[in-house]
A and B are shown apart, each in its own frame.
Chain A
């Protein structure tokens, strides 16, 4: 999938993450700020990159402000931002690339 336009998902509330995706040209450029950076920075990065790979996104700027979100929330926010950037809200591949 390509990132067609800038899109955002999530909030800055505790246990949530705010994810912004923008079109990019140089792979996945991840900017991450997290309230739990020391403990979970590596895990968050891994989950985000895996999710992007599953969605087949090769080029994007991804900016995340994490407030202690669990992996399931991070995935949900990244997927939502990516599909929003493509204007897709229906007939989503639940259990396919979304899993």
Chain B
């Protein structure tokens, strides 16, 4: 890795992905993470610092067919206030509402939250519950190549994703939830603002006559990546959300997660909280 030699602020997607061809590029969007991390020496800026703010193709929140497209540069505040998100994706707003502080929500972008790949990333849990896909752009030869990857396979470790050094996240695509879709998010921390989750939980599915189908469960801060909980999902699938089922599913959730001890909590505490909050959140879903 070489020293920072070049600052580049492209105004089109073409210019940006062409710049990424050599791979020795640090991407700047909102800067809320890159600024302090680079100043503290925890991240070394590569040969080129590329500021993607001025690329119009990365902005906006739109309905495209049966998907909601959220541009990588959409800030957390923009997402929270957007009518399409309010109407179709209220669970994403619940998570945005618990995201850092107003100042950081005004600057931080969804693309940045995704690419940071924090196991505790606030938007990642509802995005997993909503079956979101990440769209990646690159320029293998002279034309832009785009492909989508399910968010559930995107993360490989803390700060690590399957995005190659030559790729740029352009947007996140979320299928419009089916009628009867319900979803809830809960973040457990020591204070509401500016806290990194001790654990976070998202639950979603289609509720018809008390029965939950297409169940989705995602947990934050209990594994090296934000993660779908397949055993918990299986335990939920097709079940009536009565007290006995909720107890059983909460126990499965506690057994499924393998958290670690760290500065924010012990593994034991995290497992207990996964149990208790899963129970609470399922009761809320049952009443939806």
Q: Report if A and B associate in a common complex.
A: no
| Chain A residues at the B interface, C-beta cutoff of 8 Å | none
| Chain B residues at the A interface, C-beta cutoff of 8 Å | none
